[in-house]
Amino acid sequence: MGLRIADVELESRFFQGTAGYPSPQVLQEAIAASGTEVVTVSLKRQLAAAGTPNDFYGIIRKAGARMLPNTAGCKTAKEAITLSHMARELFDTNWIKLEVIGDDHTLQPDPFELLEATRVLVKDGFEVFPYCTDDLVSCQRLMDAGCRILMPWGAPIGSGQGLLNPTALRTLRARLPDAVLVVDAGIGSPQHAVHAMELGFDAVLVNTAVSHAHDPVRMARAFRLAVEAGRLGYEAGIMAKQEMAVPSTPVTGQPFVL
């Protein structure tokens, strides 16, 4: 069940966002319930809210999770690169969840600015986790630029629509067998997480579906179990679909295959 990502061994395949929780206490309890070892935080949001991320960083450190700062809100490569360097100094990590938004309505990433920022940041020693679409060619270019992890969306951020294009995601898994693939954005329920994991994805990142639940702590635990179940199903081998009914209980012959 373990996952090796960016030269770090993780037990949990559930990454958790930290925005929109009703209180710091609920956030702490949700992190504990989820079993997550990686949490994301927007540096822009933290700086705007408190001028420094120190208080928030303390919450994450107390929870024992690894910080994955992100560049949410950036619209150009230059802006994202600058923010990434600030995050590395403030959080003492070379991990960066790279977001460069190209459209304000869909919050779809800009593939050109994203690729430019990735090339620069990889050369600067960052481990880049790019938030991208499910387009195969764009993902291949990001890997060519030095990414070992890709974070394609399942649906627009915060929409809760689930995996809108499972065929494209399945193609990514088949064509990029050496990449760590994390479904990022659009997951709205534990069922969606199971679906992603059954496709062979390595992890999922969820924020709004947990933080906006009536009971975020219980929902965090639900996602934890869903991710584990989906991964176990994938590893066990899911039966092929049949067009017609196939008797599950044979009425003749031996009860076991010898």
Residue reference for tokens 């929902």? 219
- Is 208 flagged in the annotation as binding? yes
Q: What does the DSSP 8-state code read for residue 238?
A: P
- Is 73 flagged in the annotation as binding? no
Q: Rg for the chain (alpha carbons), in Å?
A: 19
Give the span between the Cα atoms of 231 and 251, in whole angstroms: 33
The residues carrying an active-site annotation are 97
- Listed in sequence order, the residues at least 6 apart from 62 whose beta carbon sits closer than 8 Å to its beta carbon are 28
Contact 203, 182 (CB under 8 A): yes
Please give the distance of CA 230 from its chain centroid, rounded to a whole number.
Answer: 15
- Is 186 flagged in the annotation as binding? yes
Q: CB atoms < 10 A from the CB of 244, how many? A: 4
- Alpha-helical regions (H) of the chain: 24-34, 43-50, 54-63, 77-91, 111-123, 136-144, 166-175, 190-198, 208-211, 216-236
Q: CB atoms < 10 A from the CB of 4, how many? A: 10
3-state secondary structure of 254: coil
Q: Crossing angle, helix 136-144 and helix 166-175, to 10 degrees?
A: 30
- Is 6 flagged in the annotation as binding? no
3-state secondary structure of 189: coil
- Is 2 flagged in the annotation as binding? no
- Burial environment of residue 69 by CB neighbours within 10 A (0 to 12, 13 to 18, 19 or more): buried
Residue stretches of the annotated binding site for 1-deoxy-D-xylulose 5-phosphate: 158, 185-186, 207-208
Q: Which residues are annotated as a binding site?
A: 158, 185-186, 207-208
